[in-house]
Structure 1
Amino acid sequence: MTDTKAAGSDTLAVSLFSEIFMADQLARNRLSKVLPKGMELSHFSVLNHLASLQDPKTPAQLAQTFSLTKGAMTNTLSRLEWAGHIHVTPDWNDARRKQVTISPAGRSARDAAVAAIAPVISEIVTTIGQDKVRASLPVLRELRLRLAQED
């Protein structure tokens, strides 16, 4: 590859990630403002993930899923447990581990959060156009999967 092509590729990559980082920051700020009182985006993310699962997860599995340290995940889980949104129970097959499941109150809190953020994200998708958003999903999904391979 020539230096000119390499420089163009580098510029494209930097532009792509700059847009992703800025969109992420703006989305987090916008959604944080409309979440139910007391709920943080990290709480919603964990509740949303747990709501989609059939089986319990360990704190370590959740930390890995969200690319967080075990300590950071423990902090989030402690707050969710205190609020009654999750159940943390012993793993009866391995007493050294714990299992995390969403509680009925957690499902209600997650549903309230979805109801609060849905109009915001729906408006953005409508403004951009569903076809454009649909077309961007395969690229974003592949980007996510390739980044996950590095961990």
Structure 2
Amino acid sequence: MKNPRKDMANALFSELLMADQLARNRLSKVLPKGMELSHFGVLNLLARQQTELSPAELARAFHVTRGAMTNTLNKLDWAGYVHIRPDWDDARRKMVAISPAGRAARDAALAAITPLIDNAVKTLGEERVRMTIPVLRSLRQRLGEDDGA
């Protein structure tokens, strides 16, 4: 017997996963040479937050392991895109801030992906996109709750 709710959930997640894959693929192609999506994500968050964050806070924000975040931060540090310093209050922790070079790299990446995103919004229509954002945000928040985040 068909279950419409199950079919709808399956269709929703199938579309989300395929859209995610396609978006990642398209975005990766237009990012500046050597920049990965994970790098852009971290630089973008640090630029928007305008404050230092610990590697653990960054790992939680992106729902990745601390090891994965450490790997990303090491690459960003090597490129000169972030400054990593000891936490003055707890020497076991580190704090991460975006560097001027990191801000410039983030801005260049944003400039590269903006036409792609603008074209998608234009194609779909601003009103449809505006109506979709709260639904996707709620879904993200709900999935984050299930993850223990």
TM-score by length of 2: 0.96
Map of 2:27 onto structure 1: 31
Q: How far apart, in 1, do the equivalents of 2:132 and 2:49 lie?
A: 26
Question: Which residue among 72, 79, 97 is the counterpart of 1:76?
Answer: 72
Question: Which residue among 94, 103, 107 is the counterpart of 1:111?
Answer: 107
SS in 2 for 1:68: coil
2:133 aligned with 1:150: no
- Cα offset, 1:61, TM superposition: 0.8
Q: How far apart, in 2, do the equivalents of 1:135 and 1:103 lie?
A: 35
Map of 2:97 onto structure 1: 101
What does the per-residue CA deviation read over 1:26-57, in whole Å, with 9 as the maximum and x for residues that have no partner?
A: 00000000000010011000100010113211
Question: Which residue among 62, 71, 81 is the counterpart of 2:58?
Answer: 62
- Cα offset, 1:150, TM superposition: 1.3
Q: How far apart, in 1, do the equivalents of 2:91 and 2:61 lie?
A: 22
- Aligned-residue CA RMSD in angstroms? 0.9
**Equivalent position amino acid for 2:140 in 1:** R
Q: Which is worse superposed, 81-90 or 53-62?
A: 53-62
Map of 2:10 onto structure 1: 14
What does the per-residue CA deviation read over 1:96-133, in whole Å, with 9 as the maximum and x for residues that have no partner?
A: 00000000000000000000000011001101100110
Q: Which is worse superposed, 29-38 or 47-56?
A: 47-56
**Equivalent position amino acid for 1:56 in 2:** E
What does the per-residue CA deviation read over 1:3-28, in whole Å, with 9 as the maximum and x for residues that have no partner?
A: 65xx1100000100100000000000
Q: Which is worse superposed, 47-56 or 112-121?
A: 47-56
Map of 1:89 onto structure 2: 85
TM-score by length of 1: 0.95
Q: How far apart, in 2, do the equivalents of 1:113 and 1:55 lie?
A: 20
Map of 2:120 onto structure 1: 124
Map of 2:46 onto structure 1: 50
Q: How far apart, in 1, do the equivalents of 2:78 and 2:4 lie?
A: 51
The count of corresponding residues between Structure 1 and Structure 2 is: 147
Which ranges of structure 1 fall in alignment gaps of 5 or more residues?
Answer: none
Q: Which is worse superposed, 47-56 or 34-43?
A: 47-56
Q: How far apart, in 2, do the equivalents of 1:118 and 1:35 lie?
A: 11
Identity %: 62
